[in-house]
Amino acid sequence: MKHKIFVSGIQCYAYHGCLPEEGRIGGHYIVDIELHTDFTKAAAQDTLSDTIDYVDVNRIVTQEMAIRSKLIEHVGQRIVDRIKSELKGIFSLQVKITKLCPPINGDVQSVAIVIEA
């Protein structure tokens, strides 16, 4: 079977960006994760070990978001790589990182990247 697990709205304060000020001041980010898996056994037997633990997903995201990068594209790829290497039973996933109020010389609510792997 095909199932999806969403861990949405992970809020982080991080220091990503190409501008030196972004490394000092930081900004608000929201990360959304979509995992494609098969949790048939977990659904039938009510066992956490047979599905993906949301705590692990949140831990990976917060740890990677805490490492400064110039580009959120780079952070997103690191999140994808860690989820794929540390969590079992994932067929594919999607990572979306949204940077709120980016400093891009305009009145912009957010920018975002999406990686599908």
**Can 4 be counted among the known catalytic residues?**
no
The mean predicted confidence, pLDDT, of the chain is: 96
Q: State the pLDDT at residue 104.
A: 87
Compute the average pLDDT of residues 79-106: 96
User: Is domain 3-116 in CATH 3.40.50.20, yes or no?
Assistant: no
Domain ranges of the chain: 3-116
DSSP state of 46: T
The residue type of 1 is M
Give percent above pLDDT 90 in the chain.
Answer: 94
| CA distance readout (Å), 24 to 16, 46, 68, 95 | 10, 45, 10, 25
Instruction: Tell me the per-residue pLDDT of 44-88, one tens digit each, with 9 for 90 and over.
Output: 999 999 999 999 999 999 999 999 999 999 999 999 999 999 999
- Give me the residues paired with residue 29 across strands: 12, 99
pTM of the predicted structure, to 2 decimals: 0.95
Across 59-87, b (16+ Cβ under 10 Å) vs e yields ebbeebbeeebeebeebbbbbbebbeeeb
Q: State the pLDDT at residue 84.
A: 98
